């Protein structure tokens, strides 16, 4: 139940007491986030079956993923501001409804174009859901220990959903068939719609804010969508091609105008630029973007290495990620305790250093290596580092943000993760592919050439995490929650 009447983020932390209502509300928000996040990875291992059934060409198959990612990334800012303007619960319910209907349409798709359209609609629903889950947690739970604990549970669910998607995708694709990857969302969506219908009192704070920046919404959505599209199609059109350069230039022009519009023209800005005057918010979003690129690289390169080099099946690959899921959950739960002792900046720095170490361990993979220790050990080290950072980074991104901007601040963190992940993965995959091509030209065996490319990709990802450490030390304050 998404209730808790009479409570707000201004409650004194010392007066806060967890009740079954808080547990129920948090469970709804975490399940909504899992429904949202799992679809980023669940389709990966089912792509060959989808291609066979619906007749996708090799060039068009990537749009089963890209249609979701482009729309998801492009509409996140709009989704966040809609919640701030018209009520977070209303927008959450609308997003769940759209996502559920689109999932049914995807499962029933009879051709390639209808599946791509349904995936785009799923992405739009996800863009409405994702910022609302964080915004409602920030409104329900007061800043400090209660909110950090809620963020820890939310972060564990979010981290687990990525690996859960790989496992579930392999299980369903090898079992009842790929269509059930989408059908399974329907009963979950209906359950969420029933559970989330109770009103939340904090909506009284946001409903008074009716102004809406239509121009800013249109320009930001077009700019971010175009940027995501330009990045995701670099496999077909290289970075230096006129096609990609033209798209990137158009996206940059739209986003530059968006900043000017928000700063000087809009009466009710879609994104209040004063948010970036908060060093914590600005630093957290930059860190999130770089972490997103490194995290996407882990799943992408490790999955390809397991399947294309070591010969694992889709289901075996999914099972290999189960220990990572458990470790992410445990590390996310440990995060709040470390924050109370050491502060957000130090925990983010420590977790990022561990992540960088895990990525460096990945550079030791070889074609004749074993699952342990060449894959599982670095995977677990990397996952532990990622999990530690979830709570302090989320808290930093929302620290000091007023209720009227909690939705857009939450959406900014999601935009940073998605665009950073897409851009980072495009750069890293291009780098790895280039190294593989060079190795093949030099006469290396295909497995060795692929592995050589993956090793370079992991090394560059480790360098991204080194930059994260520097940003954390320079931009973040070492916030500790007050005792409760």
Q: What distance in Å separates the CA atoms of residue 36 and residue 28, rounded to the nearest whole number?
A: 12
> What does the pLDDT profile of the chain (484 residues) look like in tens digits?
454 443 444 445 567 788 888 888 899 999 998 888 888 778 877 777 888 899 887 667 778 877 887 788 788 888 888 888 888 889 999 999 999 999 999 999 999 999 999 999 999 999 999 889 988 988 888 877 888 888 888 877 877 787 778 778 878 877 888 999 999 999 999 999 999 876 544 444 444 445 667 788 889 888 888 887 887 777 678 888 999 999 999 999 999 999 999 888 888 888 888 888 888 999 999 999 999 889 888 888 888 898 889 988 777 877 888 888 888 888 888 888 898 889 999 999 999 999 999 999 999 999 998 888 899 999 999 999 998 998 899 888 888 888 777 777 877 887 788 778 877 877 888 888 889 989 999 999 999 999 999 999 999 999 999 999 999 999 888 776 543 3
How confident is the model at residue 12, as a pLDDT? Answer: 53
Task: Please name which of 60, 126, 52 lies closest in space to residue 92, comparing C-alpha atoms.
Answer: 126
Please, are residues 432 and 457 in contact by the beta-carbon 8 Å criterion?
Answer: yes
Question: What is the set of domains in the chain, with CATH numbers?
Answer: 18-212+268-475 (1.20.1250.20)
Specify the pTM: 0.79
145 vs 325, 391, 480, 482, CA distance in Å? 24, 11, 9, 8
- The pLDDT value given to residue 203: 43
Residues in the chain: 484
Residues 336 and 146: their CA atoms lie apart, in Å, by: 10
Grouping H, G, I as helix, E, B as strand and the rest as coil, residue 177 is coil
Which pairs count as long-range contacts for 230-239, CB under 8 Å and 24+ apart, including other chains?
231/419, 231/422, 231/423, 231/426, 232/62, 232/66, 232/69, 232/70, 232/422, 232/426, 233/66, 234/426, 234/430, 235/62, 235/429, 236/59, 238/430, 239/430
pLDDT of residue 208: 43
454 burial (CB, 10 Å; 0-12 / 13-18 / 19+) is buried
- The pLDDT score that the predictor gives to residue 211 is 60
pLDDT at 204: 42
| In contact, 196 and 97? CB cutoff 8 Å | no
Q: Please give the Cα distance from 202 to 3 (Å, whole number).
A: 10
Cα(151)–Cα(26) distance, rounded to whole angstroms?
A: 9
| Dist CA 333 CA 82 (whole Å) | 31
**DSSP labels for 245-276?**
HHHHHHHHHHHHHHHHIIIII-SS-SS-GGGG
What is the distance between the alpha carbons of residues 425 and 392, in angstroms, rounded to a whole number?
Answer: 24
**3-state helix, strand and coil shares in percent for the chain, rounded to the nearest 5:** 80, 0, 20
């Amino acid at each position: 139940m998404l209730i808790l009447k009479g409570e707000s983020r201004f409650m004194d932390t010392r007066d806060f007491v967890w009740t079954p209502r808080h547990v129920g509300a948090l469970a709804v928000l975490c399940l909504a986030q899992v429904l949202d996040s799992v679809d980023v990875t669940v389709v990966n291992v089912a792509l060959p079956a989808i291609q066979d059934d619906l007749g996708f060409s090799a060039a068009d198959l990537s749009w089963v993923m890209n249609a979701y990612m482009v729309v998801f990334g492009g509409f996140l800012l709009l989704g966040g501001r809609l919640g701030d303007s018209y009520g977070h619960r209303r927008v959450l319910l609308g997003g769940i409804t759209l996502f559920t209907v689109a999932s049914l349409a995807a499962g029933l798709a009879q051709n390639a174009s209808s599946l791509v359209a349904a995936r785009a609609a799923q992405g739009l629903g996800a863009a409405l859901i994702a910022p609302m889950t964080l915004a409602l947690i920030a409104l329900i739970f007061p800043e400090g220990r209660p909110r950090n604990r809620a963020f820890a549970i939310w972060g564990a669910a979010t981290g687990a959903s990525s690996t859960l998607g790989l496992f579930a995708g392999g299980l369903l694709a090898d079992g009842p068939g790929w269509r059930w990857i989408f059908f399974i969302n329907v009963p979950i969506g209906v359950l969420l719609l029933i559970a989330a219908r109770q009103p939340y009192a904090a909506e009284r704070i946001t409903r008074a804010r009716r102004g809406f920046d239509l121009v800013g919404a249109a320009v930001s959505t077009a700019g971010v969508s175009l940027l995501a599209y330009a990045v995701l199609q670099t496999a077909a059109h290289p970075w230096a091609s006129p096609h990609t350069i033209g798209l990137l230039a158009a996206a940059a022009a739209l986003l530059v105008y968006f900043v000017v519009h928000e700063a000087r023209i809009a009466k009710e800005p879609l994104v209040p630029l004063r948010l970036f005057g908060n060093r914590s918010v600005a630093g957290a979003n930059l860190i999130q973007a770089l972490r997103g690129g490194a995290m996407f690289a882990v799943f992408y390169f490790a999955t390809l290495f397991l399947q294309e080099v070591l010969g694992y099946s889709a289901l075996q690959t999914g099972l290999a990620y189960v220990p990572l899921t458990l470790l992410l959950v445990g590390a996310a739960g440990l995060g709040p305790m470390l924050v109370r002792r050491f502060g957000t900046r130090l925990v983010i720095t420590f977790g990022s250093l561990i992540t960088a170490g895990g990525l460096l361990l990945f550079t030791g993979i070889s074609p004749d290596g074993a699952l342990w220790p060449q894959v599982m050990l670095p995977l677990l080290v990397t996952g532990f580092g990622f999990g530690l950072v979830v709570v302090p980074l989320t808290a930093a991104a929302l620290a000091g943000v007023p209720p009227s901007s909690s939705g857009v601040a939450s959406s900014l963190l999601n935009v940073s993760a998605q665009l950073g992940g897409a851009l980072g993965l495009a750069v890293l995959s291009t780098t790895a592919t280039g190294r593989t091509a060079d190795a093949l030209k030099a006469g290396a065996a295909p497995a060795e050439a692929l592995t050589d490319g993956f090793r370079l990709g992991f090394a560059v990802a480790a360098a991204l995490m080194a930059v994260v450490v520097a940003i954390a030390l320079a931009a973040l304050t070492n916030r500790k929650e007050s005792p409760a």
